[in-house]
Chain A
C-alpha cells in the first residue's frame, strides 16, 4: 500500500514539474473545432486536405473532421443533436434545413456577415437558398442540379443520338431499349429510379405541381405517383432497366450504382457528383438532364446543394466562422475543393477556378450552363417530416418494384402516408 502511494505521489510531482517546465501551447492546440460532413472517398480526400491547409495557416487551431456516407449521415447527426454533441460545423442539405432550424439546432449567421464572414459579393440567388424565415442559417458551398449520368461509350455503340438536354421520357425509353439490345442484355439501359424521390419530385413538377404546397400540405397526387411507378414498371417488364434486387438497395454508395459498376448505361445523380463518379467509372461519362414531358413544365431546379451550418453546440463560434470564411474565400482552399461539392457561389472563386478545370469538371460546368434556361424556380424548403416521407416513398416503392403491391393501390397509400407523416411532424 505504502509503496503504491509513494509511486503515485512521485508521478504527480513529476507531471507537475513537466507542466511547469513546458508552457502549454506546445503540447496542445488551444482552440479546436469539429467539422462533420457526408462524403465519398474523393470528397473526403479533398476535405482533409483543406483541413491540413487551414491548420497550417492558423497554428493553434485544431480542426477534426468527421465523415460518413449519406445513408448514415442523418441518423448520426440526429443522435448527436439529441446528445447535445453536434459538431461545430455541419454540412447541411436543403431538404433537412427547415427541420433543423425549427428544432433550434442551428445558429443564424447574419451577425457575422461582413465582419468575419465575407460573403457580400456572392450570388444572391444561391445564397438565399440558405435562408429560413429571413435569416441566413446555412452558407452555400456549392450549387447543383440533378443529372442523368450516362456512359458515353455505350451511347455511341448503340448509336443513341438525341439531344440530352431537351429529350423526353419517350426518348429515354427508346435509348434504354437500344442500349440493352445492343449489348445483348449485358448492359441495361438505366438504373430503375422507382425509389428515387428526388427524380420523382421533378416528375411532379413536370406535371405542373410541387410535391409540397406552401402550407406544408402534400400537393403531389396519387396519379403523379402511379404514373411514375407505372413508367418504371413498364421498363422493368421490357427488361431494359437494372435488376430489381439491386434497385431495392437503399442509398447505395455511388460506386455501386449501375454506371460505375457497368450494369447500366444511365444512373441518377447530382451534378456535383460527376467528379466522384468519373473517379470510379471505367468509361467516360456524360451528363444529361432528367427527361422532359412534351409540353410539360420544367422539372429540375438549381439547388443550393450543400451548405455549411453553425450548430447550437458550437462553443468557439469565432474560430468556427473563421474556418467557414476560409472555405468560401481562401484561394488555396477553394482551389483544393474545386467543384466537387457543386458550383461555388462566389464569382471570384469561379473565375479563379476556370482556367484549371479538369475534363470532368468542365463537363459539370458546361452542364450547369446548359440547363440554366431549362430549370424551374427553387421550391420552398420541405416541411418537417420530409425525411420520413422519403423513407416511406422508398418503403412503398420497394413493394411495387418487387411486385408485392399494385401500382395504383401503393400510390394511394403513399400519398395518404405522406400527408399523415407531415401532419404528425408539425
Chain B
C-alpha cells in the first residue's frame, strides 16, 4: 500500500485538477440533478419531494415531451447517416495521396470547428431566410424558394443540412481508418479485375467497420445532444410551431424559462437513458457487422 502511494503520488498530484473538477463540477451536479428530478423545484424556494410525479406527468400528460422526442428522433435518423456518408465520401476523396492533403484536411475540418458556434447558427438563419442567399440562388435558376426556416415542414431539414456540412471530425477519423487498410488488398483486387464498387463493398467497408461503428456511436450521441444551433435558429422556443423543439431546447425552456428545474432534471435523466439504450443497441448489434482485424475466427 505504502509503495503504491509512493509510486503513484506524483501522478495523482498531477491528476488533482481534473479530479477536483470532475467531482465538484461534474459528478456533484449530476447526482444533484438525479435528486432534483424527484422534486418540484423553482430555484428560489426549496425543492419539494414529489416522488415520481415529474416522470408520470412527462409520460402521461406532456404533449410537448412527445413532440420533442419526435423532432429529435427524426433529426438523429436523418442527420447521423447523412453526416457519416458525406464524411466517408470526402475522406475517400482525400485518401489519394495528394501532396497538399494537409491543406485540404484543414479546410474540410474547418466547418466542424465553427459549427458549434453561435455565429454559424445565425449565419444559417440568414442563408435560409425568405430573402436569403439560398432563395436568391434558386431564383437565378428560376425556382421559387420556400420560407425554409419559418415553415414547420422544412425548418428541420435546414438543420440536417447544417449537420451534413459539419462532417469534419468523423471525416478525419475515417481518413485515419482508410490509411490503415493495407494497400496490397486493393492491388490484389485490381489484378483480379474487381470493379471499384466491389472493392468498396468487399474491402473498404468491412475493414473500416470498427471506425464506422465508432463514428456512428459518437455521432448519434452528439446528435441527441444538439442544442445551440436549434436554440438559435428557433429563437430559443422551438418555433415555428414546435418543429424545432429539440429535446435539449425543450429541457432548457423548462429549466430556465419556466423555472421547472425538477422537471427539467427528470427530462435530462430520460435523455441519458435514451442515449444509453441506443448506444447499447449499437454495441450489441456490432458483433454481427463489426470485425476487428486482429480477430481470428
Interchain nearest-CB distance for A145 vs B (Å): 27
Residue in A closest to B243 when the chains form the complex, CB atoms: A398
Q: What are the interface flags for B245-280 relative to A under an 8 Å C-beta threshold, 1 for contact and 0 otherwise?
A: 000000000011111010000000000000000000
Q: What are the interface flags for A376-391 relative to B under an 8 Å C-beta threshold, 1 for contact and 0 otherwise?
A: 0000000001011001
Residue contact A402 to B152, C-beta cutoff 8 Å: yes
- The reply on B92 being an interface residue by CB < 8 A is no
- The reply on A124 being an interface residue by CB < 8 A is no
Task: Scan residues 59-114 of chain A and give those whose CB is less than 8 A from a CB of chain B.
Answer: 71-72, 74-75, 78-79, 81-82, 103-105
- The reply on A399 being an interface residue by CB < 8 A is yes
Residue in B closest to A417 when the chains form the complex, CB atoms: B63
Contact of A81 among B43, B147, B152, B237 (CB under 8 A): B43
In the complex, A23 Cα to B45 Cα: how many Å?
43
**Chain B interface helix/strand/loop/mixed:** loop
Tell me which residues across on chain B come within 8 A of A250, comparing CB atoms: 235, 237, 239
In the complex, A88 Cα to B111 Cα: how many Å?
40
Contact of B259 among A103, A246, A394, A402 (CB under 8 A): A103
In the complex, A245 Cα to B131 Cα: how many Å?
11
In the complex, A137 Cα to B151 Cα: how many Å?
41
Residue contact B150 to A75, C-beta cutoff 8 Å: no
In the complex, A229 Cα to B290 Cα: how many Å?
56
Residue contact A75 to B45, C-beta cutoff 8 Å: no
Tell me which residues across on chain B come within 8 A of A402, comparing CB atoms: 151-152, 240-241
- The reply on B44 being an interface residue by CB < 8 A is yes
In the complex, A402 Cα to B150 Cα: how many Å?
10
Residue contact A104 to B44, C-beta cutoff 8 Å: yes
Residue contact A78 to B256, C-beta cutoff 8 Å: yes
In the complex, A395 Cα to B257 Cα: how many Å?
16
In the complex, A387 Cα to B257 Cα: how many Å?
9
Contact of B43 among A82, A394, A399, A425 (CB under 8 A): A82
Tell me which residues across on chain B come within 8 A of A75, comparing CB atoms: 236, 256-257
In the complex, A72 Cα to B234 Cα: how many Å?
12
- The reply on A52 being an interface residue by CB < 8 A is no
Tell me which residues across on chain A come within 8 A of B237, comparing CB atoms: 250, 391, 394-395
Tell me which residues across on chain A come within 8 A of B239, comparing CB atoms: 248, 250, 394-395, 398
Tell me which residues across on chain A come within 8 A of B255, comparing CB atoms: 82
Residue contact B240 to A398, C-beta cutoff 8 Å: yes
Interchain nearest-CB distance for B122 vs A (Å): 13
Tell me which residues across on chain A come within 8 A of B256, comparing CB atoms: 75, 78-79, 82
In the complex, A150 Cα to B43 Cα: how many Å?
43
Tell me which residues across on chain A come within 8 A of B257, comparing CB atoms: 74-75, 78, 387-388
Residue in B closest to A247 when the chains form the complex, CB atoms: B150
Knowing A75-B256, A391-B237, say if A81 contacts B242 (CB, 8 Å).
Answer: no
Residue contact A398 to B259, C-beta cutoff 8 Å: no
In the complex, A347 Cα to B130 Cα: how many Å?
48
Residue contact B259 to A245, C-beta cutoff 8 Å: no
Contact of B241 among A72, A104, A105, A395 (CB under 8 A): A395
Residue in A closest to B231 when the chains form the complex, CB atoms: A75
Contact of B235 among A71, A74, A82 (CB under 8 A): A71
Residue in B closest to A391 when the chains form the complex, CB atoms: B237
Tell me which residues across on chain B come within 8 A of A425, comparing CB atoms: 258
In the complex, A71 Cα to B256 Cα: how many Å?
14
- The reply on A404 being an interface residue by CB < 8 A is yes
Tell me which residues across on chain A come within 8 A of B43, comparing CB atoms: 81-82
Residue contact B44 to A103, C-beta cutoff 8 Å: yes
Interchain nearest-CB distance for A140 vs B (Å): 25
Knowing A75-B256, A103-B259, A402-B241, say if A245 contacts B45 (CB, 8 Å).
Answer: no
- The reply on A249 being an interface residue by CB < 8 A is yes
Q: What are the interface flags for B33-64 relative to A under an 8 Å C-beta threshold, 1 for contact and 0 otherwise?
A: 00000000011110000000000000000000
- The reply on A251 being an interface residue by CB < 8 A is yes
Interchain nearest-CB distance for B69 vs A (Å): 17
Knowing A78-B259, A82-B43, say if A245 contacts B241 (CB, 8 Å).
Answer: no
In the complex, A246 Cα to B151 Cα: how many Å?
10
Tell me which residues across on chain A come within 8 A of B44, comparing CB atoms: 81, 103-105
Tell me which residues across on chain B come within 8 A of A249, comparing CB atoms: 150
Residue in B closest to A249 when the chains form the complex, CB atoms: B150
Task: Scan residues 371-426 of chain A and give those whose CB is less than 8 A from a CB of chain B.
Answer: 385, 387-388, 391, 394-396, 398-399, 402, 404, 425
Residue in B closest to A388 when the chains form the complex, CB atoms: B258
Tell me which residues across on chain A come within 8 A of B258, comparing CB atoms: 385, 387-388, 425
Tell me which residues across on chain A come within 8 A of B241, comparing CB atoms: 248, 395-396, 398-399, 402, 404
Residue contact B45 to A104, C-beta cutoff 8 Å: yes
Tell me which residues across on chain A come within 8 A of B130, comparing CB atoms: 245-246
Interchain nearest-CB distance for A17 vs B (Å): 32
Residue contact A103 to B152, C-beta cutoff 8 Å: no
Interchain nearest-CB distance for A416 vs B (Å): 10
Residue contact B42 to A103, C-beta cutoff 8 Å: yes
Tell me which residues across on chain B come within 8 A of A79, comparing CB atoms: 256
Query: Which of B151, B152, B235, B240 has the largest count of A CB atoms less than 10 A from its CB?
Result: B240
Residue contact B147 to A245, C-beta cutoff 8 Å: yes
Interchain nearest-CB distance for A223 vs B (Å): 23
Residue contact B242 to A82, C-beta cutoff 8 Å: no
Interchain nearest-CB distance for A405 vs B (Å): 9
In the complex, A99 Cα to B152 Cα: how many Å?
31
Tell me which residues across on chain B come within 8 A of A404, comparing CB atoms: 152, 241
Tell me which residues across on chain B come within 8 A of A78, comparing CB atoms: 256-257, 259
Query: Which of A72, A248, A251, A385 has the largest count of B CB atoms less than 10 A from its CB?
Result: A248
In the complex, A426 Cα to B135 Cα: how many Å?
46
Query: Which of A245, A251, A399 has the largest count of B CB atoms less than 10 A from its CB?
Result: A245
In the complex, A374 Cα to B45 Cα: how many Å?
42
In the complex, A82 Cα to B42 Cα: how many Å?
8
Contact of B236 among A72, A245, A387 (CB under 8 A): A72
Task: Scan residues 17-44 of chain B and give those whose CB is less than 8 A from a CB of chain A.
Answer: 42-44
Q: What are the interface flags for A34-78 relative to B under an 8 Å C-beta threshold, 1 for contact and 0 otherwise?
A: 000000000000000000000000000000000000011011001
Residue pairs across A and B with Cβ atoms less than 8 A apart, 7 shown, are A78-B259, A79-B256, A250-B237, A387-B257, A398-B241, A402-B240, A402-B241
Question: Knowing that A245-B150, A398-B241 are A-B contacts, what are 16 other residue pairs whose CB atoms are under 8 Å apart, sorted by A's residue number?
Answer: A75-B236, A75-B257, A79-B256, A81-B43, A81-B44, A81-B259, A82-B259, A103-B45, A105-B44, A245-B151, A246-B130, A248-B239, A249-B150, A250-B237, A402-B151, A402-B152
Interface residues of A (CB under 8 A from B): 71-72, 74-75, 78-79, 81-82, 103-105, 245-246, 248-251, 385, 387-388, 391, 394-396, 398-399, 402, 404, 425
Query: Which 7 A-B pairs give the minimum distances between C-beta atoms?
Result: A245-B147, A398-B241, A103-B44, A82-B43, A245-B150, A399-B241, A79-B256
